[in-house]
Amino acid sequence: MRFMVLVKSNEEAEAGVMPSEEILAEMMKYNEELARAGVMLDGSGLQPTSKGARVAFSGGKPTVTDGPFTEAKELVAGYWLIQVRSKEEAVEWVKRAPFQEGELEIRQLFELEDFGPSEAIDRARELEKQLGGPR
C-alpha cells in the first residue's frame, strides 16, 4: 500500500523561511531511516505558494490564479511517499517524524486494482509499465 504523507504548511514556510541546520539534520536522519527500511519512495519540501499557481476549471474552462494563497494551515509544505503494509504501519512511521509542532496528513493512494475492469484502466496499466510501474 502506498501512502502520501502531507506536511501542512505554516506562516514561516509560506514566507520562505528556510529550516535551521538542526531541523534539516533531523529530517535527513528520519529520511535515511525510512530509506533504510525500504519504506520511502519519494519526498521533498515545496516552495511557498507565492512561487506557484492554481488552475481551477469551470465548465471545462481553466482559470489560472498565481500565488500566494491564504490560509497557510490548509496548504502543503512538503510530502513523503511511502510504501507500507497497512494504514497502521504508515501511522507508526509518521509518529516518528521529527516535528515539535505542526500537522501531518496521511492519505492512501489508489492502486489500479481498486478499480473495476475498463478500457481506461487497461490503458493506465500500459502507461504504468512504460513508466516503470508502481514501486
Mean pLDDT of 93-112: 95
Query: What mean pLDDT, rounded, does the chain reach?
Result: 94
Q: With bands split at pLDDT 50, 70 and 90, how would you rate the model's confidence at 135? A: low
Name, in order, each residue with C-beta under 8 angstroms of 123's C-beta and a sequence gap of 6 or more.
none
Which of 87, 76, 94, 74 minimizes the C-alpha distance to 33?
94
Quick one: pLDDT at residue 132?
A: 87
34 C-beta neighbours (distance < 10 Å), count: 19
Q: With bands split at pLDDT 50, 70 and 90, how would you rate the model's confidence at 47? A: very high
Residue 133 has pLDDT above 90, yes or no: no
